[in-house]
A and B are shown apart, each in its own frame.
Chain A
Amino acid sequence: SQQGEEDPQALSIQEGENATMNCSYKTSINNLQWYRQNSGRGLVHLILIRSNEREKHSGRLRVTLDTSKKSSSLLITASRAADTASYFCAYGSFQKLVFGTGTRLLVSP
């Protein structure tokens, strides 16, 4: 399967802590994206990093990309209860997006 793999599958932290999620993929890519999905809702795009970039920031989000290791990480700093959701990586490859398996993040007040 070309599906991206994410770890951990689930992560439970306290408000104020940082959350780190990792994504690995198997093919060459144009870009790598991260999406958030709240329970019962559609996916929402968070951030996109191109294959020639190594790091990107957006607010409390920091994404890194290592194309030599075919991996990416998403860091959410100073987490809030509202960050509770599932997070998916998706890589742009061969004219389509391939989504990872997701990480369920629970942030407790």
Chain B
Amino acid sequence: DAGVIQSPRHEVTEMGQEVTLRCKPISGHDYLFWYRQTMMRGLELLIYFNNNVPIDDSGMPEDRFSAKMPNASFSTLKIQPSEPRDSAVYFCASGTTPYNEQFFGPGTRLTVL
């Protein structure tokens, strides 16, 4: 298996633009997680899905952020409109339970100017 795949790896955009991050989890993993990593706040869980259904979105910062999982092999995290404070590395991870080993993708480094 290729592991968790994320795209794009780098994204530079201007404030106010819509940003869409993509993730393909490992086949057979029922759980998919979106994290954000910054120097100031460390690694934060934004939302996670179980069998394509959002289970806990308490970490989503505000209504500008939305996440979907239309099928078992694809998820998106969208920011609209983007702001400079959204600049961070966004990781997708997958696993077979919500609190055991998680497999991380390489991340998307987002810069909002």
Contact = CB atoms under 8 A, between A and B. Distances in A.
A92 B56 CA distance: 15
Contacts, number: 55
- The B contact surface, by secondary structure, is strand
B29 to A, nearest CB: 13
A33 B43 CA distance: 15
Contacts of A31: 99-100
Interface of A: 3, 30-31, 33, 35, 41-45, 48, 88, 92-93, 95-102
Contact of B102 (A41, A97, A100): A97
A45 B43 contact: no
A97 B99 contact: yes
Q: Interface size for chain B: under 10, 10 to 19, 20 to 34, or 35 or more residues?
A: 20 to 34
Interface of B: 4, 33, 35, 42-43, 45, 48, 55-56, 91, 93, 98-107
Nearest to B58: A96
Given A33-B101, A48-B100, A97 B45 contact: yes
- The A contact surface, by secondary structure, is strand
Contacts of A101: 42
Given A3-B42, A99-B42, A99-B43, A43 B91 contact: yes
